[in-house]
Amino acid sequence: MTLSPRQWLRAFFGALEALCSRAFTPAWNPLLQLGSIGWFFFWIVAVSGIYLYVFFDTGITRAYDTIETLTHAQPWAGGVMRSLHRYASDGLVAIALTHLLREFALDQMRGKRWFAWITGLPLLVLIYVSGITGYWLVWDVMAQYVAVVTGELLDVLPLFGEPISRNFVNESSLSSRFFTLMSFIHIAAPLLLLLFMWIHIHRHTAARIQPARGLSLLVLGSLLALSIAVPAVSQARADLDMVPATVGLDWFYLPVYPLVQQWGGATAWQLLGGMLLLLGLMPWLPPKSAPPVAKVSLLNCNGCGRCVADCPFGALSLEPRSDWQNYAVEAVVNADRCLSCGLCVGACPTATPFRSASMFTAGIELPQLPLASLREQLKKSCAALSGDDRLVVFACEPAGDLSGELRRNSAVAQMPCIGMLPPSCIDFVFSRRLADGVVIAGCTANGCYQRFGQCWTEERIAGQRDPWLRARVPRERIALSWAVDLRAFRSGLAALPPLRLSGRDTGKPGLLLAGPRWPMPVRAVGMALLLGVLAGVTAVFATEPAWRQLEPQEAVMRLSIRHATATKIECKPLTPRQMADLKPNMRRPVDCPRERWPVYVELERGGELLYRGTHPPSGLWNDGAATVFRTFRVPAGPQSIVVRMRDSGRESGFDQVRSGTIDLEPGQNFVIEFRSGKGFIWEDMS
């Protein structure tokens, strides 16, 4: 049997989840609460960010200085806060991507589940925008790298009148206001992120946005330990006159940046856009099949609202009555949100198998699995059981296919989610003496595929959520199983002693499997190992491996031109006659067509042509300045250069030429600029 990539991924997550459940216990299993850990990281980043902002000063030199002071003058506060800020943001990226992969693996974004998936995509973008602008603010060499490459990336888009890369060619072209803009974006993007996080969970009733408290403490503790062991520090101060040959990169945030340099901004955009588009289309890609949605039977619905309270996806509401009955409201299913999990059926007070065969329809039912047929099936398969250790196993479908052999004298009834089981069905088994014990099996402890199946079932049995399981049902004859996998379930079931009345009823059902877990010392080691590995990975990839953008004996040459050429046609005065022919509001004494000449430029180095190109003027009417911004990696050392430009209507020859000999240091950022009236200028090396 061959597995699709999704099935491989699913198997991988399943194994990892089982491992984590053993180490962390299901309640603390981080894989089952990725979203809420994401929220937790967000709050850590927000709180530490507010602290850092108090001390931060915008400005080309001040930015770097204030952060250095903060890091080294108060390592116990500012330093730790800064490290937390960095590592928690890295954690946020890691968590968000894992969350996305897991939802993909479990196929939880298909069809009607599109909403959380689609609203998750802007979250990814906003996390990256927040992180990248944050690195900018430090203004070390990585910030410089980020600034320059972001410039290249953005300049591909037809957004800006002139290349924003020109801001970063040297210190004089960079304004301190730019840092104000960056810190504004660095605050605005996370606020938008928070808004989208709120929208993201909108369709999940009672969405979990806090991880289990113990897990939160563990995560915070690991982050603190990491911050103290490997404090986040700045790299060398940014210097726009030099291009650092190697830069330590945060690979959580910047994996695309080296690609931009290698393949160019346009390719990078196509790659990113293509990926986002593919992700965005995923919910609707085939094969897409949705089972029929829950159906309300008005004859059996008095509008009690229990199904509305229990729906995990907000697919039910109470609306004014549409029939003749004397009730105010009725339950209405929103077919666009209903995932056919059946949790509403388990909540309905009329869903009791004690009803007469002819009238047995609950107020709300799944058309593909009516309770009446479930009951008939159950009766039939129980009739085949014998002895005094007969077992009924109620299980959900995601728990696995149980139709094969099960060790015991048992009858199996499966449904989309264990939360669909009305508690009265358990009562029914004992009342009608169909079996001696009942096993209730769900998919994963604390990780219900339909969110609340396990939770609602436990609460209904405990009399904490409607409908209550009848008080006199002997709880000692019920066993719950929230196994981590099918194998664990089978072996747990095989080892289960007969469920008999013992007379020592504790009032609670037995736990067959809460998901097996290791003994405490093993678990502690497991947790420490896992968190340690995660922290180590975070620390390493936050700066390593360093990215080499220049060979040791290379320098960078940039050609930066912004030039408004002469207009193509000279202004000429209009005769009175010509003026009279114009409409009154269009009359003018001089006719000035605005279109300008393009710029043609050539750059030669050591007698070889390095670049040649024609650049049209900007603007809708071709009346703006033409801009040229090109970057070249060149060998360091003495060399001759010639730059020529044609900016008029002449057919051949050049209007501006400058040649000279320069001596480039390794890593130097050598800029050739053009200014009207001054011609080509560069730093004089003589």
Partner 1 sequence: MNLIAWREEFTIGLPDVDHEHRELIAMINALHESLGPDADAAQIVEALGEIHARIAAHFALEEREMRQLKYDSIAEHKDDHERLLDDILDIIDTVESPAAYDPEALGERLSRWFSDHFRTHDLRLHRWLAGRH
Decide: is 184 part of the binding site for partner 1 (CB under 8 A): no
Cβ 347 to partner 1 shortest distance, Å: 9
414 sits near partner 1 (criterion: CB under 8 A): no
Determine the residue type at 161: G
By C-alpha distance, which of 660, 665, 628 is closest to 647? 628
At its nearest, how many Å lie between partner 1 and the CB of residue 425?
13
Residue 370 interacting with partner 1 (CB under 8 A): no
At closest approach, how far in Å is the CB of 356 from partner 1? Answer: 3
- Farthest-apart Cα atoms in the chain, separation: 117
Please identify, using beta-carbon distances, which residue of 102 and 375 lies nearer to partner 1: 375
Q: How far apart are CA 85 and CA 358, in angstroms?
A: 65
Bridge pairing between strands 599-605 and 608-615:
antiparallel
Verify binding: residue 302, partner 1, rule CB under 8 A.
Answer: yes
Residue type, 594: R
One of 239, 241, 397, 466 touching partner 1 (CB under 8 A): 466
Does 471 bind partner 1 (CB under 8 A)? Our answer is yes
Reduce the DSSP state of residue 643 to 3 states and report it. strand
Do 643 and 602 contact (CB within 8 A), yes or no? yes
For residues 359 and 522, which CB has a smaller minimum distance to partner 1 in the complex? 359
Per CB under 8 A, which region of 4-12, 45-53, 69-77, 321-329 contacts partner 1? 321-329
Asked if residue 26 lies in contact with residue 443, where contact means CB atoms within 8 angstroms, the answer is: no
Would you say 357 or 520 has its CB closer to partner 1?
357
CB neighbour class for 133 (10 Å; exposed up to 12, middle 13-18, buried from 19): buried
| By CB under 8 A, residue 383 contacts partner 1 | no
**In this chain, which stretch among 159-167, 264-272, 296-304, 434-442 interacts with partner 1, using CB under 8 A?**
296-304
Which of 211, 303, 342, 667 touches partner 1 by CB under 8 A? 303
| Residue 459 touches partner 1, criterion: CB under 8 A | no
Residue with tokens 């009238």: 359
Q: How far apart are CA 495 and CA 515, in angstroms?
A: 14
Check: CB of residue 566 under 8 Å from CB of residue 596: yes
CB nearer to partner 1: give 247 or 366. Answer: 366
Q: Of these, 10, 337, 470, 568, which contacts partner 1 (CB under 8 A)?
A: 470
CA distances from 259 to 149, 451, 569 (A): 10, 40, 44
Q: CB under 8 A: which stretch of 89-97, 467-475, 485-493, 607-615 binds partner 1?
A: 467-475
324 belongs to the binding site for partner 1 (CB under 8 A): no
Q: How far apart, in whole angstroms, are the C-alpha atoms of residue 153 and residue 183? A: 20
CA distance 318 to 332: 6
As a 3-state breakdown, the chain gives helix, strand, coil percent values, each rounded to 5, of 45, 15, 40
467 part of the interface to partner 1, by CB under 8 A: yes
Min dist CB 355 to partner 1, Å, is 5
Instruction: Give the residue, chosen from 201, 247, 304, 662, that forms a contact with partner 1 under the rule CB under 8 A.
Output: 304
Q: Which of residues 338-367 bind partner 1 (CB under 8 A)?
A: 349-350, 352, 354-359, 363
Distance CA 308, CA 364 (A): 11
What value, to the nearest 5°, has the Cα angle with vertex 257 and ends 158 and 608? 75
Q: Does residue 330 bind partner 1 (CB under 8 A)? A: no
**Taking contact as CB under 8 A, which single stretch among the options 82-90, 300-308, 435-443, 559-567 is the one that binds partner 1?**
300-308
Q: What is the 3-state secondary structure (H, E, C) of 399-455?
A: HCCCCCCCCCCEEEEEECCHHHCCHHHHHHHHHCCCCCEEEEEECCCCCCCCCCHHH
Measure Cα distances from 386 to 389, 391, 395, 434, 436 in Å. Answer: 8, 10, 21, 10, 10
Q: Does 472 bind partner 1 (CB under 8 A)?
A: yes
| Residue 301 and residue 331 in contact, taking contact as beta carbons nearer than 8 Å | yes
Counting contacts by CB under 8 A, is residue 328 touching partner 1?
Answer: yes
We find the least distance from the C-beta atom of residue 542 to partner 1, in angstroms, to be: 51
Q: Does 78 bind partner 1 (CB under 8 A)?
A: no
Count interface residues toward partner 1 (CB under 8 A): 29
Kindly state whether residue 427 participates in binding partner 1, applying the rule CB under 8 A.
Answer: yes
Cβ distance to partner 1 smaller for residue 52 or 307? 307
CB of 427 to partner 1, least distance (A): 7
How does 217-255 read in b/e, with b if 16+ C-beta sit within 10 Å? ebbeebbeebbeebbbbbbebbebebbbbbbbbbbbbbe
Q: How is residue 38 written in tokens?
A: 């994401």
Is 474 among the residues that bind partner 1 (CB under 8 A)?
no
DSSP-derived secondary structure for 215-233: HHHHHHHHHHHHHHHS---
Q: With respect to partner 1, which residue has the nearer C-beta, 48 or 352?
A: 352
- How far apart (Å, rounded) are the C-alpha atoms in residues 548 and 258? 9
> Of 364 and 626, which CB lies nearer to partner 1 in the complex structure?
364
Which of 114, 468, 518, 654 is in the footprint of partner 1 by CB under 8 A? 468
For the chain, how big is the Rg over CA atoms in Å? 34
Q: How far is the CB of 304 from partner 1 (least distance, A)?
A: 4
What's the min distance (Å) between Cβ of 383 and partner 1? 17
Q: How far is the CB of 346 from partner 1 (least distance, A)?
A: 13
Is 458 among the residues that bind partner 1 (CB under 8 A)? Answer: no
Is position 284 an interface residue for partner 1 (rule: CB under 8 A)?
no
Whole-angstrom Cα distance, residue 679 to residue 655?
10
How far apart are the C-alpha atoms of 107 and 96, rounded to whole Å?
16
* Least distance from partner 1 to the Cβ atom of residue 361, Å: 10
Helices (H), 282-405: 306-310, 343-347, 371-383
Is residue 463 near partner 1 by the rule CB under 8 A? Answer: yes
Comparing CB distances to partner 1, the nearer of 468 and 611 is 468
Binding site for partner 1 (CB under 8 A): 300, 302-306, 326-328, 349-350, 352, 354-359, 363, 427, 431-432, 463, 466-468, 470-472
